[in-house]
Amino acid sequence: MAAIELINILRPVVAISTYITFAALALHEYPQLREKLLSESNDYTEMFAQEVRRFYPFAPFLGARVRKDFVWNQCEFKKGMLVLLDIFGTNHDPRIWKTPNEFRPDRFRDWNSNLFDLIPQGGSDPATGHRCPGEGIVIEIIKTSIQFLINTITYDVPNQDLSYSMARMPTLPKSGFIVSNIKRK
């Protein structure tokens, strides 16, 4: 029982730190968006955080068990079967997202969510399905971190390998995300 509780603490910490790393990477890769983050309301920071969660893969997939028998695309799924949910594929599906391989926070300006189109931390209703119940807290911490990075400190990003592998879970830039010359504004 103690191991389960430890995992329940560690998993969200890893998720949050991964998304903060990817938020810093997005600020580095899309510096033109810093001005919008500084000049627009908190709504744009929320859109930026949502786009970080959609665009960058915390994990390429999640494992789950089928809850009840069903058939999809002529494939039979039996209750209890272990399946993989393609998070990256869903979050980059052109049937759901226009220009899915472009980082565009504005796509969330008039976004009408359903429980399965943005699934960076699982899909469905958190109360009844396989979706992280702490997702709202994660978004708030990402937003606070973005504001800290653009309003409170300056830093340099030295040359490094910022690519990431879909074979690693959680995904992270190969060099981590190294910053130097950190100063308070």
Mean pLDDT of the chain: 88
| pLDDT recorded at residue 178 | 97
Q: What whole-number distance in Å separates Cα of residue 27 and Cα of residue 37?
A: 10
Name the token pair of 112: 């009408």
| pLDDT recorded at residue 19 | 93
Yes or no: say if 105 and 50 are a contact pair by the CB < 8 Å rule. Answer: yes
Average pLDDT value for residue range 43-72: 91
Contacts of 162 (CB under 8 A, 6+ apart): 25, 28, 29, 173, 174, 175, 177
* Cα–Cα distance list, 81 to 66, 76, 84, 90, 132 (Å): 5, 10, 10, 21, 21
Q: Which domains does the chain have, with CATH numbers?
A: 2-184 (1.10.630.10)
Average pLDDT value for residue range 80-96: 91
Radius of gyration of the chain from Cα atoms?
A: 18
CA angle 144, 25, 141 (to 5 degrees): 20
Q: What whole-number distance in Å separates Cα of residue 66 and Cα of residue 68?
A: 6
* Residues forming beta bridges with residue 62, ordered by sequence position: 85
